[in-house]
Amino acid sequence: MKELLKKLTETAAPSGHEANIRNLIRKEIEPYVDEISVDVMGNLIARKGKKQKDGHRILIAAHMDEIGLMASHISEKGFVYVASIGGVNPLTCVGSRVVFLNGTVGVISLETEKIDKVPTINQLFIDVGATSADDCPVNVGDVCVFDRPFIDMRKRMVAKAMDDRVGCLLAIETLKQIKESPNELVFVFTTQEEIGARGATTSAYGVDPEIGIALDVTLSADTPHCTPVNPVLGEGPCIKVRDSSLIAHPAVIEAMKKAAASRKIKVQMEVLRFAGTDAGAIHTVRSGVPSGCLSIACRYVHSPSEMIDTSDVENAIVMLKVLLENPIAL
C-alpha cells in the first residue's frame, strides 16, 4: 500500500495535465476491471461487474489532479512569475522547490524585501537558475507542482498531493480486492477537481449513476490553535455529512455507517464548513444522484507536506470494500 501511495504522490500531475498519473493508475487497475476507457476530459473510467436485481450503478470518484502553478510571465532576468492552479496558499510556497513537467526544477521566492503581510500569488516568482529570459528553460503556459518526496513516518505518512492521491489509492486497492458485488461499479479517476470538479461533472453525466461516492481528504482539526471540531488523524475514516457543495444523502450516510459497524471500524462524522469534493458535482447531474463522500483526515492540506494517518487509510479500504460489496437501500 505505502509503495503505491509513494508512486502516486510523487507523480507530477496538476489540473488539466493528468496524463502521467492516469497512465500509472491505468497500469495498476487494468487487470482487475471488465472495461476501461478515457473520456474527452481525460477522466479514467473503469467498470467492474453488472448490476443485479437488488444492486445499483455506483460511481466511485477520486480525483487524479493536484494543485500547482502555471508560468504567466518570464522577466528579463529569467525569473518565472506564476498563476495558481487550484487553491495554492502563498504562505506555504516561499522557499519550496517545484518541478515543471519538462523536468526543470526551481525555487519559489517573494518579490519583496519586507514581509509584513500575507503575500499574494502575484508577488511570487520561481528561480530556475536562469540569468535571462533567453536562457530560461520555462515558457509561458508551462506548469509545475511541489517537488517533495513521500515520507513514511510509520503511523503517519507525509507527501505532496495526498489530496487526492490517497483517494485514488482507496479506489485502486478496493477495486483490486472486490470479487463479487450486486452493484455495477464504475470507478472514475477524475480530472480538474481542484479547479471546479470539472471532470466529475462530465463523467457523471456520461455514467448516469444511481449512487455517487467521492473519495477525498478533509481538513483535520488536531494541531495547535485549531478550532476544536472533527475530524482528527487516527480516529478513523470520515463520513461526510456536509460541505459547501453537498449535503450528503441520508441513505448513503447510513450505508457507510453500517459498513463500518460490520467490521467494528471507528468512524468520524464530518461537517466541513467550506470547500467541496467531486460529490458536489455528481449529486446535481441529470435529475440528481444520491451521493456521499468517504474522507481521510489530513493535516496541512494544499501544502507541500500533507499528512495522513496510516490506520485511517487501512480502515477506509476495508470499509469501502464492504460498502460496495453489498446492496445500498435508498
Question: Does residue 110 fall inside a structural domain?
Answer: yes
Q: Give pLDDT tens digits for 272-320.
A: 888 899 999 999 999 999 999 999 999 999 999 999 999 999 999 999 9
Whether 248 has a pLDDT exceeding 80, the answer reads yes
Q: What are phi and psi of 185, to 5 degrees?
A: -100, 125
Q: Give pLDDT tens digits for 76-98.
A: 999 999 999 999 999 899 999 99
CB contact at 8 A, 177 and 171: no
**133/81 same-domain check:** yes
Q: What is the CA radius of gyration of the chain?
A: 20
DSSP 11-69: S--BTT--HHHHHHHHHHHGGG-SEEEE-TT--EEEEES---TT--EEEEEEE--B-EE
**Is the bond leading into 231 cis (omega within 30 degrees of zero)?**
yes
Question: What pLDDT is stored for residue 113 in this prediction?
Answer: 63
Distance CA 191, CA 198 (A): 7
Write down which residue in 93, 111, 146 finishes a domain: 146
**89/60 same-domain check:** no
| Position 251 confidence tier, pLDDT thresholds 50, 70, 90 | very high
CB contact at 8 A, 237 and 226: no
Question: What pLDDT is stored for residue 212 in this prediction?
Answer: 98
Distance CA 130, CA 189 (A): 37
Q: Give pLDDT tens digits for 94-144.
A: 999 999 999 999 999 998 766 677 889 999 999 999 999 999 999 999 999
Question: Does residue 155 fall inside a structural domain?
Answer: no
Which residue type occupies 245? S
Write down which residue in 146, 176, 194 finishes a domain: 146
Question: What pLDDT is stored for residue 118 in this prediction?
Answer: 82
Give the CATH number for residue 139: 2.40.30.40
**176/266 same-domain check:** yes
Write down which residue in 146, 170, 189 finishes a domain: 146
Q: For the chain, where are the E strands, in sequence order?
A: 35-38, 44-48, 57-63, 68-74, 80-85, 97-100, 105-110, 124-127, 143-146, 151-153, 156-159, 184-190, 211-219, 238-243, 246-247, 268-271, 291-298, 306-309
Question: Does residue 153 fall inside a structural domain?
Answer: no
Percentage, residues of the chain above pLDDT 70: 99
| Position 190 confidence tier, pLDDT thresholds 50, 70, 90 | very high
**164/221 same-domain check:** yes
Question: Does residue 247 fall inside a structural domain?
Answer: yes
Catalytic residues: 193
Give the closest residue to 211 by CA, choosing from 98, 80, 58. Answer: 58
| Position 255 confidence tier, pLDDT thresholds 50, 70, 90 | very high
**121/131 same-domain check:** yes
Question: Does residue 212 fall inside a structural domain?
Answer: yes
Range of the domain at 98: 68-146
Question: Does residue 106 fall inside a structural domain?
Answer: yes
**170/271 same-domain check:** yes
**175/257 same-domain check:** yes
**138/192 same-domain check:** no
Distance CA 129, CA 2 (A): 34
CB contact at 8 A, 302 and 238: no
- Please work out, in degrees rounded to the nearest 5, the angle formed at the alpha carbon of residue 26 by the alpha carbons of 23 and 28: 115
**177/111 same-domain check:** no
C-alpha cell read off for 52: 443485479
Question: What pLDDT is stored for residue 223 in this prediction?
Answer: 85
Question: What pLDDT is stored for residue 273 in this prediction?
Answer: 86
**74/61 same-domain check:** no
Distance CA 258, CA 300 (A): 30
Question: Does residue 330 fall inside a structural domain?
Answer: no
Give the CATH number for residue 10: 3.40.630.10
Distance CA 6, CA 62 (A): 17
**56/115 same-domain check:** no
Considering its fold, how many domains does the chain have in total?
2
Question: What pLDDT is stored for residue 228 in this prediction?
Answer: 72
Round the average pLDDT of the chain to a whole number and report it: 96
Give the closest residue to 13 by CA, choosing from 33, 46, 42, 47. Answer: 42
Identify the residue whose cell numbers are 462530465.
202
Question: Does residue 151 fall inside a structural domain?
Answer: no
**164/44 same-domain check:** yes
